[in-house]
Amino acid sequence: MSVDLSSLEPYLPELLSGRPLAVLTGAGVSVESGLPTFRGPGGLWEGHRPEELATQDAFTKDPVKVWRWYEWRRSLVRDARPNDAHLALARIERLLPRSTVVTQNVDGLHRAAGQHNLVELHGSLHRTRCTQDGAVRPAPPGPFPQIPPRCPTCTALLRPDVVWFGERLPEKDWRAAETAVSDCAVLLVVGTSSVVAPASTLALVAARSGARLFEINPEATPVAPLAEGVFRTTASEALRAIADALSGRAARS
Ligand code: OAD
């Protein structure tokens, strides 16, 4: 299937001449790697309330239950590989060194695809944080020998190094995300329902700063009315087409 890029084409020359690109991604970008989204049928929240699994209160009440859910998610991610959407974004970064991906995903697949300019806004399933001293460490590649895992130095409980509901995003990551979307000429919003703040407000920040927005998502989201163009297709189809269009132009110039 070919993707009609006519709404985006006029902006490709300025991107190739060095104006920054920002890309905001969500769970939809990892669907083609076999990972579930959060919302909708078969989503991670189906049959769960986020506050039972992804809050400090839930963890304090039942760390085993929370860790079992994260161990299950880590097992899915362990078997997942970057798909054509992640790979196309890494290709776009090589063509446009001033591009930044801001992701809400905690699966590490953008990094595995070779993305360098990356802000992982919601943290990473591949790291733990000590609940006592805040030390952040890589999680083991396989399952933890015991659930809940404990800090190897002080034996306090470890938690996943992810952002839970009700928690502030790490200041440095939020600032990097805001800078990326305020400075960019074009923002691609890919595979996110755009309903979880503050990440969802980044599209508004970009629009207010004069960026052109494009949505890549098979379904319409609240970002659509702000967008100059929408691509109602999968992340891999649209991003492959964009990477091809950029490399075609780069080769001709
Ligand atoms: P959602 O599950 O809310 O939305 C996933 C989006 O991906 C939907 O809009 C789908 O239409 C779209 N989608 C599905 N398949 C796709 C494909 N092949 N290509 C492109 N898009 C596709 O996931 P997020 O928006 O990422 O936060 O959710 C945001 C945050 O809510 C998550 O980071 C998580 C969650 O609660 C925390 O845990 C803090």
7, pLDDT greater than 70: yes
* pLDDT value of position 1: 66
- Looking at residue 49, what is its pLDDT? 77
Q: Looking at 173-253, which runs of residues are DSSP E strands?
A: 186-190, 212-216, 229-231
Q: What percentage of the chain reaches a pLDDT higher than 70?
A: 99
In this predicted model, which residue has the larger pLDDT, 2 or 121? Answer: 121
Determine the Cα–Cα distance for residues 193 and 149; give it in Å rounded to an integer. Answer: 32
Structure tokens at 5: 């890029």
**Which backbone phi and psi does 203 adopt, to 5 degrees?**
-65, -40
130 strand-pairing partners = 158
- Cα of 41 to ligand 1 centre, how many Å? 12
**Cβ within 8 Å of residue 143, ≥6 positions away:** 71, 74, 75
pLDDT value of residue 143? 96
The predicted structure's pLDDT at residue 47: 73
User: Would the pLDDT of 237 be above 90?
Assistant: yes
State the pTM of this model: 0.96
Average pLDDT over residues 110-115: 98
pLDDT surpassing 70 at residue 51: yes
Confidence class for position 40, pLDDT limits 50, 70, 90: confident
- Residue 119: enclosing H or E segment and its boundaries? strand 118-120
CA atoms within 13 A on the CB side of 136: 8
- Catalytic sites, residue numbers: 122
Ligand 1 midpoint to CA 226 (Å): 18
Comparison of pLDDT for 173 and 40, the residue scoring more: 173
Residue 132 banded pLDDT, cuts 50, 70, 90: very high
53-87 residues labelled b (16+ CB within 10 A) or e (exposed): bbbeebbeeebeebbebbbebbebbeebebbbbbb
25 Cα nearest atom in ligand 1:
26
Q: Any residues with Cβ below 6 Å from ligand 1, and which?
A: 26-28, 31-32, 37-39, 43, 50, 54, 104, 122, 163, 191-193, 196, 217-219, 221, 234-235
Element holding 84 (H helix, E strand): helix 84-95
Q: State how far the Cα of 209 lies from the Cα of 206, in Å rounded to an integer.
A: 5
Closest approach atom of ligand 1 to CA 221:
9
- Percentage of residues of the chain with pLDDT beyond 90: 92
